[in-house]
A and B are shown apart, each in its own frame.
Chain A
Amino acid sequence: MAEKAASKAEIKEMEERALSVFSAERNEDITSMIFAFAVAIIIMIVVAP
């Protein structure tokens, strides 16, 4: 019984850890888009010439 409870707590902890540092999914998506595009633009500026 105690083992089951511990396992449940462990899974819950893992699920919580899987949550993002962002408060909402959309914020995470938009930030990842901005970052990815910023990386692409910087690479184009630095590498292309």
Chain B
Amino acid sequence: MAEKKGFGIASLVTGVIMIAYAVLLKAGVFHGAMAFLKTTKAADQQFYLAIIFGGLALLIGVIDSVREPQKTNLDKLVLEPMPGVMYLIGLSMFIRWYADPLFNLWGVQLKPTLGFDIYHVLNLNYVFLGIILGMIITNTMGVPKWASSGIKTSRFVLKMGVITLGAMYSIGELAKLGQISLVMIAFFVMGTVILVLILGKIFNTPKSMTGVLATGVGVCGVSAAVASAPVVRAKSSELAYTIGTILTFGIVCMFIFPTVGKAVGMTPTQFGAWAGTGILNSAQVAAASLAYDAPGSIDTLKVGEIFNITRILFLPFIVILLAVWYGAGEGEEAGSKKESVGKVIVDKFPIFVLGFILMFAASSMHVFGPKSITNFEANEKNQLKEEDIKKIEAVIATNTKLEEKEKAALQTLVQNKQVTDKKQLSVLKDLTGRKVAKDITDSKAPVNIAIHKVERKNNVLEVLRDFMIWFFAYGLVGLGMQITISSLRQAGGMPLVIGIIAGIAKASLSFFAVLWLISDKI
């Protein structure tokens, strides 16, 4: 009972800290820090979230302090875990509002010295920081007793993140790819998964470790590894090991891929296809593609992104494959009668992956609306100011790096004072990506203003993306808290060896496949 009272006090303290943060935020105490971290735009969100969760923590704290603990579902599923839930939410807030922006800023500041953006190359975002923070807490001061029940909700919230991820993709992405590219991606995803499973058997690693590593290396990164973990009953340390292997391999690829690509004279399309197939982590695909692009071009990046997105759509198939593989092995180990493949799939297929598929289907049917909404109506609201028009005219007259189609699109913009059709919009958007005329294409410069006047992002998808990041941040901090140094030592170095062998095989074979199969079109 005394212990339970402690839970209530912990919840009360968390609530007071959150409410105090909101009050100080409103009083302007954090304005300087927020301006430094470039998070001023999120001030309202920070205030409301701190008030809502702070209030909730206070309420739960009061209930926990005065109510006798019972063995009801309310106690087990809500009251007991709630102090830990609030603890994880508080840590996620710290990661998203302070740690992630700070590392991003350091990446930009150190770029001239290092020659690369360390934040993007080493993937020092909320994914990495969340796991590391969780690990630091659990391996130093330890997880407080009152928070231990709440930590158990992290896997549940990670699953919500994977389900929401489905809404970020649509069948339209596949339409951009030709049949040969699609077959190539399928071959390398499935091939790598099967290779890792075979290597796991040869090196005698636990099936749970092999399974989660196979998905992480085969499909791409964190979300794929999270989705497959429950199918093979993977431990948190095995999931962390997989994420570590993927990121380490990706860092090496980041430097080797562009050098090799340039040495053999790959076209931007070929390199994008190779990076999108061979590099295991999404952020690192983007970074390698950008490094390969000529200054002012984004051709490689576009191809790399399409290949990368397509990989993740194979996730449900890989989960089925793993369910069959793991289910068959379990039967063998237990010495029981072999079950049919259909029964294994029904028994082992994680239902939450169905959620991913349903979200993907809903997104493909535009249930959440199109990715962006355009309105080319000729009206004053959509038009640029005279001074902006003059800036564009000056650039057309003096800039020698503009392509003919870009000049034409800018001239039409000058004539009509606004963007008038999709083709012009597409040319102008590419121009902003090329960064050849920064005076008019920077984020607050005339061309970008003209684009934003006629095109706005789909708010529903933007908010859903934000929620997805919160789910992952929360889940990964909790995941980190379940990883001790001794459990990592127990996993040994073999998973890293298997991951690197499979990664090198995939990168080398896809290199030849891309040179053979991909020319200028994907």
Contacts and interface: CB of A to CB of B under 8 A. Distances in A.
B236 A18 contact: yes
Interface stretch (B2-10, B153-161, B393-401): B153-161
B236 A21 contact: no
B7 to A, nearest CB: 14
A35 B164 CA distance: 10
Contact of B155 (A10, A15, A20): A20
Sort chain A's interface into a size bin: 20 to 34
B81 A21 contact: yes
B155 to A, nearest CB: 6
Interface residues of B, number: 45
A6 to B, nearest CB: 9
Contact of B352 (A10, A32, A43): A32
Nearest to A44: B460
Interface in A1-46: 7, 10-11, 14-15, 17-22, 25-26, 28-33, 35-37, 39-40, 43-44
Contact of B152 (A20, A31, A35): A20
B490 interface: yes
B163 A36 contact: yes
DSSP majority for the B interface? helix
Given A20-B152, A44-B368, A11 B463 contact: no
Interface of B: 76-77, 80-81, 143, 148-149, 151-153, 155-157, 159-160, 163-164, 167, 230, 235-237, 350-352, 354-355, 358-359, 362, 367-369, 459-460, 463-464, 467, 481-484, 486-487, 490
A47 B352 contact: no
A24 B459 CA distance: 36
B230 A25 contact: yes
8 contacts: A10-B484, A15-B235, A17-B482, A18-B235, A18-B236, A29-B159, A29-B230, A32-B159
Contact of A40 (B152, B235, B464): B464
A43 B463 contact: yes
A39 B235 contact: no
Nearest to A33: B355
Nearest to B157: A32
